[in-house]
């Protein structure tokens, strides 16, 4: 399959597909970071995570329309406003869902699978009723369009670069919050032993609610970023949820670093194979490799060495 | 100062603690003794708000703790060292102690805790799960002390710990009591340890207090008889 291309062409293809993979990687990381907190840390199987992401995407879409309508001169910065709004909206919805549903299910983690699956169906129908079944896309401001030409045959799209920068910033912020702040310490204590965390004075209900809401909020930001590389429909989240769980499990459920490493591996493998094989063939190969590795290392790529 | 009255705890239909009454004076160390399955751990958990009580009340000074959740009890002045230590194994020693600071203003681990347990300062950045049993026990006590409790509950602190360290722990607990001026309730099966630290010994059998002895006038043989199988 490589025979049709010259060496220089192959290099360019790998570079550009590699970069396309990096953009996919960014969305994976943003989705998976939220899920790593909710599933990896809290143990809640959140099947509605994709729908939270899509909520963020719709909020971005609405914001872009409002800016185009009423504040044309500020259109170039609408994306930053949209991102904040997307975060706030999904954070609030997350807090509501935790309060109304998830908090009753911490002792029955498998039931969260069904409950959040139901929630995802409800949300999809709401999106369909409100925004219609057709996919919508946002108009990017001028400065995000176009691409940087590195050489004659390698071109790097600017929106991809932007999404990557965003991902790096958010990942760093999450790391600092989880591992350097007192709040992060409380979260880790609660997820490790909810009863004992209460008995040392941590308000576990509040920590649970904020943690879940934060995971959803990050998904909302992922949705915001998602609008730059794909169009948004009521069921777009479904396409990503399986991949996202795959990323989190493959990386080692309790390790944020593992999540990032596995998002990188999976997205790169998929996007470079997709160019040469069909999309589904690429997926099959990726899944086979992941299944193989998980059989050898059930705890995922990164696991803490610790007596439990 | 700390008073438990008409206290009942049940798991569903089976009542484990029946109508318990006792109180603790400030600065007093009380040992609650009894064989396995007599309700010691249930009582401890329920005093911490982990296991709900069915009837009766728990009061600390003028504060009624009965309907409070665990974290509110900690804020009101209870500290808990559970059976099996239950430290947060993936977190470092320092982070473990910091979880106990949630209800107080302190941002940093108070230095006096490291003075009490110098080994914890040495192991500051190790993960809690990689400590030995005795070190984990010290960590659990330091974590409970971080919230500056008025009453410290210890559930079977000697379990799985070698005799020389048990004696050292008795000394440390008395030192904590003298320096911090708190009351300690310790549930125990090891009579020598209880005699070593307690001012008063209560014997719990089938959810009732069947004997109460002051340390000064204790009848060792009588308590030993309750503990023998």
Q: CATH number for the domain including B49?
A: 3.40.50.300
A 215-274 → B contacts, CB under 8 A: 254
Number of domains in chain A: 1
Beta carbons of A56 and A90 less than 8 angstroms apart? yes
Q: Is residue A272, in this structure, part of any structural domain at all?
A: no
> B156 Cβ partners below 8 Å, 6+ apart?
B40, B41, B83, B187, B188, B189
Q: How far apart are CA B44 and CA B46, in angstroms?
A: 5
Domain that holds residue B140: 2-227
Q: How far apart are the first and last CA of chain B?
A: 34
Q: Which of A16-25, B43-52, B111-120 has the lowest mean pLDDT?
A: A16-25
pLDDT for residue A2: 67
Which chain B residues are within 8 Å of A306, Cβ to Cβ? 89-90, 127, 129-130
Q: Where are the alpha helices (DSSP H) in B83-219?
A: 93-99, 111-116, 118-122, 133-146, 163-180, 191-197
Beta carbons of A67 and A74 less than 8 angstroms apart? yes
Take residue A158 and report the two structure tokens written for it. Answer: 């600017």
Q: With H, G, I as helix, E, B as strand and everything else as coil, classify residue B181.
A: coil
Q: How far apart are CA A43 and CA A45, in angstroms?
A: 6
Strands B78-81 and B151-155, by their bridges, are parallel
Asked if B71 and A203 come within 8 Å (Cβ–Cβ), the reply is yes
Could you say which of B70, B88, B100 has the minimum Cβ distance to residue A188?
B88
Number of domains in chain B: 1
- Residue A9 sits at φ, ψ, to 5 deg, of -65, -40
Domain that holds residue A32: 23-141+152-251
Which chain B residues are within 8 Å of A197, Cβ to Cβ? 88, 99
Question: What tens digit of pLDDT does each residue of B175-208 get?
Answer: 999 988 899 999 988 888 998 899 999 999 888 8
Chain B residue whose CA is closest to A191: B88
Which chain A residues are within 8 Å of B70, Cβ to Cβ? 195, 198-199, 201, 204
Q: Is residue A287, in this structure, part of any structural domain at all?
A: no
Tell whether A103 lies on the interface with B, counting CB pairs under 8 A. no
Q: Is residue A302, in this structure, part of any structural domain at all?
A: no
Helix (H) or strand (E) holding A21: helix A7-35
Q: Is residue A2, in this structure, part of any structural domain at all?
A: no
* Percent of chain B residues past pLDDT 90, beyond the cut: 54
Mutate to test the interface with B, among A40, A184, A201 (most CBs of B within 10 A): A201
Helix (H) or strand (E) holding B81: strand B78-81
Q: How far apart are CA B48 and CA A28, in angstroms?
A: 42
Asked if A201 and B100 come within 8 Å (Cβ–Cβ), the reply is yes
Asked if B147 and A200 come within 8 Å (Cβ–Cβ), the reply is yes
How many CA atoms lie less than 13 Å away from B167 in the CB half-sphere? 2
Chain A residue whose CA is closest to B83: A196
Q: How far is B48 from chain A (nearest CA, A)?
A: 7
Chain B residue whose CA is closest to A189: B88
Asked if B102 and A201 come within 8 Å (Cβ–Cβ), the reply is yes
Q: How far is A183 from chain B (nearest CA, A)?
A: 9
Chain B residue whose CA is closest to A201: B71
Mutate to test the interface with B, among A178, A182, A199, A303 (most CBs of B within 10 A): A199
Which chain A residues are within 8 Å of B50, Cβ to Cβ? 195, 198-199
Q: Is residue A303, in this structure, part of any structural domain at all?
A: no
Helix (H) or strand (E) holding A210: helix A204-226
CA angle A301-A102-A168, nearest 5°? Answer: 40
Q: How far apart are CA B9 and CA B11, in angstroms?
A: 7
**Which neighbouring-strand residues pair with B63?**
B60
Report the pLDDT averaged over residues B107-131. 90
Report the pLDDT averaged over residues B91-105. 91
DSSP states along B9-65: EEETTEEEEEEEEEEE-TT-EEEEE--TTSSHHHHHHHHTTSS--SEEEEEETTEE-
For B199, counting Cβ atoms within 10 Å of its Cβ (0-12 exposed, 13-18 middle, 19+ buried), the class is middle
Beta carbons of A222 and A270 less than 8 angstroms apart? no
The alpha carbon of A70 is separated from its chain's Cα centroid by a whole number of angstroms, namely: 31
Q: What is the pLDDT along chain A (308 residues), one digit of tens a residue?
A: 666 778 778 888 778 777 877 887 888 888 888 888 888 778 888 999 999 999 999 999 999 999 988 888 888 888 889 999 999 999 999 999 999 999 999 888 888 899 999 999 999 999 999 998 888 888 888 887 777 777 777 778 888 888 889 899 989 998 898 888 888 899 989 888 889 999 999 999 999 999 999 999 999 999 998 888 888 889 888 888 888 888 888 887 677 888 888 888 888 888 778 777 877 888 888 888 888 888 888 888 887 666 55
Q: Is residue A239, in this structure, part of any structural domain at all?
A: yes
Q: What band does B65 get if pLDDT is binned at 50, 70 and 90?
A: very high
What crossing angle do the helices spanning A236-251 and A7-35 adopt, rounded to 10°?
A: 90
Asked if B147 and A201 come within 8 Å (Cβ–Cβ), the reply is yes
Chain B residue whose CA is closest to A197: B99
Helix (H) or strand (E) holding A280: helix A279-296
Could you say which of B74, B90, B100 has the minimum Cβ distance to residue A192?
B90
Query: What ipTM goes with this model?
Result: 0.87
**Which neighbouring-strand residues pair with B188?**
B33
**Which neighbouring-strand residues pair with B32?**
B187, B202
Q: How far apart are CA A267 and CA B97, in angstroms?
A: 40
Chain A residue whose CA is closest to B141: A200
Asked if A196 and B86 come within 8 Å (Cβ–Cβ), the reply is yes
Q: How far apart are CA A293 and CA A250, in angstroms?
A: 8
Q: What is the dihedral of CA A191, A211, A163, A272, to 10 degrees?
A: 30
């Amino acid at each position: 399959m490589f025979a049709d291309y010259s060496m220089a062409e192959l290099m360019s293809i790998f570079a550009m597909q590699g970069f396309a993979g990096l953009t996919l990687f960014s969305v994976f990381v943003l989705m998976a970071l939220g899920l790593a907190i909710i599933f990896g840390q809290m143990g809640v199987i959140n099947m509605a995570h994709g729908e939270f992401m899509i909520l963020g995407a719709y909020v971005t879409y609405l914001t872009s329309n409002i800016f185009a309508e009423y504040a044309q001169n500020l259109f170039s910065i609408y994306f930053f406003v949209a991102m904040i709004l997307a975060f706030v909206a999904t954070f609030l919805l997350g807090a509501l869902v935790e309060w109304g549903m998830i908090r009753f299910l911490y002792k029955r983690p498998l039931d969260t699978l069904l409950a959040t699956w139901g929630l995802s169906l409800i949300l999809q129908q709401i999106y369909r009723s409100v925004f219609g079944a057709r996919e919508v896309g946002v108009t990017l401001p001028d400065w995000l369009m176009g691409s940087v030409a590195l050489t004659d045959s390698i071109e790097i799209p600017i929106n991809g670069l932007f999404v990557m920068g965003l991902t790096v910033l958010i990942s760093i912020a999450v790391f600092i919050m989880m591992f350097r702040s007192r709040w992060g310490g409380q979260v880790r204590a609660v997820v490790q032993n909810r009863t004992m965390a209460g008995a040392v004075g941590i308000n576990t209900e509040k920590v649970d609610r904020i943690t879940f809401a934060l995971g959803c909020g990050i998904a909302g930001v992922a949705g915001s970023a998602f609008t730059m590389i794909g169009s948004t429909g009521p069921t777009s989240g479904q396409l990503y949820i399986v991949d996202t769980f795959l990323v989190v499990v493959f990386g080692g459920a309790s390790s944020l670093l593992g999540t990032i490493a596995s998002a990188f591996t999976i997205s790169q493998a998929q996007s470079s194979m997709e160019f040469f094989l069909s999309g589904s063939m690429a997926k099959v190969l990726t899944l086979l490799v992941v299944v193989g590795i998980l059989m050898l290392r059930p705890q995922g790529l990164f696991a803490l060495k610790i007596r439990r | 100062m700390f008073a438990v009255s008409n206290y009942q705890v049940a798991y569903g239909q089976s009542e484990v603690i029946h109508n318990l009454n006792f109180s603790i004076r400030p600065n007093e160390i009380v040992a609650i003794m009894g064989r396995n399955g007599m309700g010691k751990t249930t009582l401890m958990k329920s005093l911490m708000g982990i296991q709900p009580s069915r009837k009766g009340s728990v009061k600390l000074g003028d504060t009624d703790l009965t309907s409070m959740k665990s974290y509110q009890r900690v804020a009101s002045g209870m500290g808990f060292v559970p059976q099996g230590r239950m430290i947060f194994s993936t977190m470092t020693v320092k982070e473990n102690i910091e979880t106990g600071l949630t209800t107080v203003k302190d941002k940093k681990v108070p230095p006096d805790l490291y003075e009490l347990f110098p080994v914890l300062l040495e192991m500051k950045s190790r993960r809690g799960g990689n400590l030995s049993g005795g070190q984990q026990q010290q960590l659990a006590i330091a974590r409970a002390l971080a919230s500056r409790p008025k009453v410290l509950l210890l559930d079977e602190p000697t379990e799985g710990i070698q005799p020389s360290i048990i004696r050292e722990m008795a000394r440390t607990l008395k030192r904590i009591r003298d320096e911090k001026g708190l009351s300690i309730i310790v549930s125990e099966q090891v009579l020598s340890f209880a005699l070593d630290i307690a001012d008063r010994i209560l014997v719990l059998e089938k959810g009732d207090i069947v004997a109460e002895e002051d340390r000064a006038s204790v009848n060792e043989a009588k308590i030993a008889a309750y503990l023998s199988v």
